[in-house]
Structure 1
Amino acid sequence: MIYDCAIVGGGAAGLSAALVLGRARRSVALLDNSQPRNAVTRESHGFLTRDGVTPSEFRHIAYAEVLSYPSVEHHAARVTDIRKLEAGFRIVMDNGVTIQARKLLMASGLREVLPSIPGIAEFYGKSLFNCPYCDGWELRDQPLILLAEQPRVYHAAKLLYHWSPDLVVCTNGSNVLTDEEKQVLTSRNIQVTDEKVAAFHGTKGKLEQVEFADGSRIERTGGFIAPQLLPQTDFRESLGYEMTEADGISTDATGKSTVPGLYAAGEAASGASMNLILAAAAGSMAAMSINVELMEEEFSS
């Protein structure tokens, strides 16, 4: 069979799109190998009626709802190749299965590359996080560290200050803060250091100390880091879609890309970290746009 739409990725964006299309009686192939970026996170926040839900529970509930619609099928596999056809797309998976679909939604999200610092993986998702909106409340008023090697560290520091003024900002050896920005931060009693972090110390995922390359240590109970974010899947060469400056798939407001029939939603389109509710909204919008495009094609044939 030829599906109305294939969705690559089973996060909030992909699942929301599958739900909308399933309810629209569209045949959907949901392609997801269950490797979400937020798998290390203990709780997800900011999603109404599900605040504090674990990522695994969120996916379990969402899959149960989505797959209750008979036209939605889940393929638990990794996509290895996608080709544009004259009318639609051919998708190859690592289990040897090949399918075709009239429309394609890329919702595979991003993967994180953490700074190369001993001990960081032990604390990431437990006392070190990426998004203040997701985990800032739980770390409020604690002694925190913000570690970022990108220019957005200045914005992140100002943002995080509202959750806890007891803040140390570390650029890990990168010269990304101007003298004026450092002055603004230090005027708020925010400590700023360019010293490289040598290691994180603590027990059972709970951060206790940050050790720097010069041998000095500071006591911190948590913090935020800015990992490098890369596309979970990259088919720009085979599909020819345009990219944004943030390395996301370029789309219009409805999720439509520069390639006919190809849509993108969530982090795959933004190229940046996105919380659940925004990703879900983007997936729903893209699905509605896909359904309208299918409808118009059916009425014009």
Structure 2
Amino acid sequence: MEKLDCIVIGAGPAGLSAALTLGRARRKIAIFDNGKNRNRVTRESNGFLTRDGIKPQVFKEIAMKELESYPSVSISNETVIQVKKEEQKDLFLIKTSNNHFYFAERILLATGIQEEFSFSQIKQYYGKSLFSCPYCDGWEQRDKPLAIIAEAEKHMIHLTKLVYNWSKDLIVFTNGHQLSNNVRNDFARKEIKIYTTRIKNLHGDNGNIKSIELESGDNILRSGGFVVPSFYRPNQFAEQLNCQINENKRIITDGGRSTTNGVYIAGETETVGPSSLMMAAADGNKAAFSINMDITLDRF
């Protein structure tokens, strides 16, 4: 079985950026990706210099096309289901859902994160008219009548204050959670309405929200908005490889290196929090520098 220099799990901006750097360093690598990247539901990605407004799938296709210039890089549309360290061979072994096995000296985890919503119907509108990142989508929602859907008071305060830069026509929905008087007074001064009644239904079509119906019977017109999801890693690879993870679920790293020798982390996988395309790509580039330097020092 052929031994690879590095296996990259995940072909989002972090994994693809790392693959490009490693390919240019003449390292033999394989990228594994199952197409379940978080931004696949997004109509366009914003804020990446020279690629502002690009569709995420087009961004991915351009990156993969560029990688074809480097013969030491291969891409496989397989789902990795197991990763483990073969201590006797000092290699990592991965197994895919197609029952294929691959060996590599090093592993880069760039599988990203996924969202969960307290109100499941949000998924129908997420990435189209409901968003989580004002820096990514605030410009397109400027001056529109927007909803802020958040349950934890600290998250709601942060998001509302931030979105206020793009639109002053805001209404906050807490889905049954109460807010302190101080928050109510602060928002009242900015003429921001608050509804603490539970949400009954979201109305709209083709992913475009039109109104929010409450259990009280109120139906409030809105044409877009921002929400606060919770995030999770879609796999347990970091745990399986004994990477140290802190109390906030962040994988401890230094220059992309995890605490497990030979295991590297890039992008949203590290923080279990959302990141922009540009920041994730930068993380992949940084991790690739560490991988290449470690290989260089081991072999020189």
Q: What's the TM-score, normalizing by structure 1?
A: 0.94
Please report how far the alpha carbon of residue 237 of structure 1 lies from its aligned counterpart in structure 2 after TM superposition. Answer: 3.7
Q: CA offsets per residue over residues 113-164 of structure 1, 9 Å max, x none?
A: 233344x333222111111111110000001001122332211111110010
Kept in 1, the 8 Å contact 2:200–2:214? The answer is yes
Structure 1 CA distance for aligned equivalents of residues 290 and 220 of structure 2: 51
Q: Give the aligned partner of residue 97 of structure 1.
A: 100
* Structure 1 unaligned residues grouped into runs of 5+: none
Q: Give the aligned partner of residue 63 of structure 2.
A: 62
The DSSP-based 3-state class of the residue aligned with 2:78 is coil
Please report how far the alpha carbon of residue 69 of structure 1 lies from its aligned counterpart in structure 2 after TM superposition. Answer: 0.6
Q: Name which of structure 1's ranges 121-130 and 53-62 shifts more when overlaid on structure 2.
A: 121-130
Overall identity of the aligned pairs, in %: 43
Q: CA offsets per residue over residues 19-73 of structure 1, 9 Å max, x none?
A: 0000000111101111111111110100111111101101100101123210011
Distance 1:236 1:286, change over 3 A: closer
Kept in 2, the 8 Å contact 1:248–1:267? The answer is no
The DSSP-based 3-state class of the residue aligned with 1:152 is helix
Kept in 2, the 8 Å contact 1:2–1:100? The answer is yes
State the AA in 2 paired with 1:153: M
Q: What's the TM-score, normalizing by structure 2?
A: 0.94
Q: CA offsets per residue over residues 158-187 of structure 1, 9 Å max, x none?
A: 111001011112222234x44323322222
* Structure 2 unaligned residues grouped into runs of 5+: none
Verify: 1:169 aligned to 2:143, yes or no.
no
Verify: 1:29 aligned to 2:30, yes or no.
yes
Q: CA offsets per residue over residues 271-299 of structure 1, 9 Å max, x none?
A: 10111000000000000011111111112
Aligned length: 296
> Pairwise CA RMSD of aligned residues?
1.4
Q: 1:212 aligns with which of 203, 211, 214?
A: 214
Q: 1:131 aligns with which of 126, 130, 133?
A: 133
State the AA in 2 paired with 1:161: Y
Distance 1:276 1:245, change over 3 A: farther
Distance 1:189 1:183, change over 3 A: same
Q: 1:153 aligns with which of 153, 156, 170?
A: 156
The structure 1 segments of at least 4 consecutive aligned residues displaced by more than 3 Å after TM superposition are none
Q: Give the aligned partner of residue 271 of structure 1.
A: 272
Structure 2 CA distance for aligned equivalents of residues 205 and 212 of structure 1: 19
State the AA in 1 paired with 2:33: D
The DSSP-based 3-state class of the residue aligned with 2:49 is coil
